[in-house]
Amino acid sequence: MGSLAFESQTLSSETMAIDREEDIVHVRKRARMLAQARGFDAFACAALTTAASELARNVWVHGGGGQATLEELSDGNRFGIRMVFRDQGPGIADLERALQGGYSTARSLGLGLSGTRRLVEDFAIDTRPGEGTRVTITKWTRF
């Protein structure tokens, strides 16, 4: 996440539970609200909302539930939104394949992780078999 010259500052942070399918909608609605309030354009809002939807769904479907933390950032010039998705599920056994795209253990499209990576500026994933998965993404407003 070292794409910035300036130290970024966290303006707010909130954590939401992802226990039920409805929670996916709650998380992405909140993401959209924050993005709109911080002046993200319509394309960036759609990207961020879709990314939130993908990762929250992965937490629910593959991770057996977990949490999402949404943070508002500022680097002095731009606003950013960082989202951390955490679960204590099985972890991703073959991370390389999962990130390649088109691979799914749930017989869905398998394009969530690879696609999300293209929707945001920063994408980091930390997964341990049997312990869980944490995906962190950040998107910034344009200058």
Ligand X SMILES: Nc1ncnc2c1ncn2[C@@H]1O[C@H](COP(=O)(O)OP(=O)(O)O)[C@@H](O)[C@H]1O
Rounded-to-integer distance, Cα 105 and Cα 62, Å: 9
Position closest to ligand X via CB: 112
Residue closer to another protein (CB basis): 41 or 131? 41
Using CB under 6 A, pick the residue from 36, 69, 88, 105 that binds ligand X: 105
Owner of token pair 């962190």: 136
Per-residue binder mask for ligand X (CB under 6 A), 36-75, x = binder: ------------------x---xx--xx------------
Owner of token pair 């731009």: 78
DSSP state of 102: S
Shortest distance (Å) from residue 48 CB to Mg ion: 16
Residue 76's Cβ-count burial label (10 Å; 0-12, 13-18, 19+) is exposed
The pair of three-digit structure tokens given for residue 123, joined into one six-digit string:
């994408």
Measured in Å, how far apart are the chain's first and last C-alpha atoms? 18
- Contacts to Mg ion by CB under 5 A: 58, 112
Tell whether residue 84 is a contact of ligand X (CB under 6 A).
Answer: no
Residues that bind ligand X (CB under 6 A): 54, 58-59, 62-63, 87, 89-92, 98, 103-106, 108-114, 133
